[in-house]
């Protein structure tokens, strides 16, 4: 990898199954853009999935696969970026163990995400050692590559702060080995769900990245429009309409016309939805094409992950050698 790059990006996602268009616009699109300017490591963090999902592991392997296919179809390029699975690179586990020795319990217990999740996931038994240590494993992920730039959403800021604190403590106790990784806030294009709430898997209001033309059409049909528009020629209020919010993102060239026709009651919601399906299908066409290609060559995904693991190991094994040496356990 060339040294003319601006720095080293590390990011990860838990394999929770198929991604939706909100995930694409909120995160993946940023990753795709970073690939040319940074050395990028993108990791499917299956060990992190175990912190809350250790009881239900039957679908884990397939979820990893689906996530990698979503990434690649979005335009993550395994020639430019290192795409790999966390559990394939044991250096993450070793560094997690070593960092756990120097991480005060109080830092983990006061982590707001931890407290919140304990409440939210009250039905699951997650008062485990592994779950409390989630941010230590995340710090190990990043620091095993000396990652300096971490593209994440706002919800991850407390975790990033902990990663920096752990890096600083290591550097202070032994010698400076790690950079302090900085969050790089995703440029977020906020895509509402079909019902105008936040798009979320648990609300069932999402459009999968893998949606077929038919599934997309059905989803657009379900979108909530201006409730004040009863007849086709009633004047509409695009600012409250989910379909219009989507037009702003997917049909930028036609937004002005759509808006004026809607306000004048000159275009009905059915026709307006049809236009949206059309522009979204255009947007999804290259994504679908790449997915199709991978689905007809499933062995490609295995090769990409195997190559990614080799490239990841080449870097993290060197960092671990430095860590052991700094700690005098080489």
Residues in touch with ligand TRP (CB under 6 A): 10-14, 45, 48, 138, 141-142, 150, 152, 156, 159
**Cβ closest to ligand TRP, residue 116 vs residue 330:** 116
Sign of CA dihedral 20, 25, 31, 32: positive
Residue 313's CB is within 10 A of a number of other CB atoms, namely 18
CB of 152 to ligand TRP, least distance (A): 5
CB of 201 to ligand TRP, least distance (A): 13
10 forms beta bridges with 41
CB 183 within 8 A of CB 152: yes
Collapsing DSSP to helix, strand or coil, 152 comes out as: strand
184 forms beta bridges with 151
**Cβ closest to ligand TRP, residue 11 vs residue 258:** 11
**Cβ closest to ligand TRP, residue 10 vs residue 131:** 10
**Cβ closest to ligand TRP, residue 42 vs residue 246:** 42
> CA dist 312 to 142, 171, 201, Å?
12, 23, 30
Cα–Cα distance for residue pair 317/326, rounded to 1 Å: 14
**Cβ closest to ligand TRP, residue 72 vs residue 143:** 143
Quickly tell me which residue has 């499917």 as its tokens: 44
CB of 36 to ligand TRP, least distance (A): 20
What is the number of alpha carbons within 13 Å of residue 248 lying toward its C-beta? 13
**Cβ closest to ligand TRP, residue 27 vs residue 267:** 27
In sequence order, which residues have a C-beta less than 8 Å from that of residue 194 and are 6 or more positions away? 205, 206, 207, 219, 222, 223, 224, 242
Structure tokens at 277: 């399906």
Determine the Cα angle at 88 with ends 86 and 94, to 5°.
75
**Cβ closest to ligand TRP, residue 73 vs residue 86:** 86
CB of 239 to ligand TRP, least distance (A): 31
Residue whose Cβ sits closest to ligand TRP: 12
CB of 163 to ligand TRP, least distance (A): 8
CB of 160 to ligand TRP, least distance (A): 8
CB of 232 to ligand TRP, least distance (A): 44
């Amino acid at each position: 990898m060339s040294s003319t790059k601006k720095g080293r990006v590390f990011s990860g996602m838990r394999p929770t199954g198929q991604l939706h268009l909100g995930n694409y616009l909120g995160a993946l699109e940023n990753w795709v853009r970073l690939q040319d300017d940074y050395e990028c490591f993108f990791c499917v963090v299956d060990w992190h999935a175990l912190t809350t999902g250790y009881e239900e592991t039957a679908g884990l392997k397939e979820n990893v696969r689906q996530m990698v296919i979503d990434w690649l179809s979005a335009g993550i390029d395994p020639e430019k970026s290192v795409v790999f699975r966390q559990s394939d690179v044991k250096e993450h586990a070793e560094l997690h163990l070593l960092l756990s020795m120097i991480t005060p319990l109080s830092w983990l217990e006061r982590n707001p995400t931890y407290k919140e999740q304990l409440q939210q996931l009250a039905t699951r038994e997650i008062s485990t050692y592994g779950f409390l240590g989630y941010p230590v494993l995340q710090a190990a992920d990043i620091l095993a590559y000396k990652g300096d730039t971490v593209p994440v959403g706002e919800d991850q800021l407390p975790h990033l702060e902990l990663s920096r604190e752990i890096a600083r403590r290591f550097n202070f106790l032994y010698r400076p080995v790690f950079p302090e990784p900085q969050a790089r806030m995703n440029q977020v294009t906020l895509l509402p769900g079909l019902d105008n709430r936040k798009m979320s898997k648990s609300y069932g209001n999402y459009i999968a990245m893998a949606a077929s033309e038919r599934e997309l059409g059905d989803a657009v049909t379900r979108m909530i429009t201006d409730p004040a528009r009863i007849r086709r020629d009633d004047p509409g209020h695009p600012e409250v309409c989910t379909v219009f919010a989507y037009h702003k993102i997917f049909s930028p060239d036609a937004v002005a016309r759509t808006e004026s026709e809607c306000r004048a009651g000159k275009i009905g919601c059915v026709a307006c939805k049809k236009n949206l399906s059309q522009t979204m299908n255009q947007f999804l066409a290259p994504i679908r094409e790449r997915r199709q290609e991978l689905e007809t060559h499933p062995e490609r995904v295995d090769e990409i992950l195997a190559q990614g693991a080799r490239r990841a190991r080449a870097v993290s094994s060197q960092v671990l050698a430095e860590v052991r040496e700094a700690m005098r356990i080489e």
